[in-house]
Amino acid sequence: MPAYWRTVPKACVSLIVRVSNNGRYAKVTPRISTARACLPYQGNGYHLFKRVTASRWRKIFVGSDLPPCTLRVPPDLIRCVNAP
């Protein structure tokens, strides 16, 4: 995850991780607590990762919109959108 997530208090964030059926892609969605102290860290969006090796992942997308289909993320993980 990005370095700025290390500044978020641990009590404020939990990560929802979903892995594709083929195990090559993952979607990580941060969930921020609604506690008053956590409000400065609120946001929306998610991160997509592609497995590079057995122990390494590469970030391929960050956003709140659907990713482009050119990333070839399996549909069991998330839908995609074709560029116009």
**Interval 28-46 mean pLDDT:** 90
3-state SS of the chain is CCHHHHHCCHHHEEEEEEECCCCCEEEEEEEECCCHHHHHHCCCCEEEEEECCCCCEEEEEEECCCCEHHHCCCCCCCCCECCC
Check if the beta carbon of residue 82 is closer than 8 Å to that of residue 69: yes
pLDDT value of residue 27: 97
pLDDT of residue 26: 98
Q: pTM for the full model?
A: 0.84
Mean per-residue pLDDT over the chain, rounded = 91
Report whether 42 contacts 31 (CB < 8 A).
no
Q: Taking 80 as the threshold, does the pLDDT of residue 83 lie above it?
A: no
Q: What is the mean pLDDT of residues 15-37?
A: 95
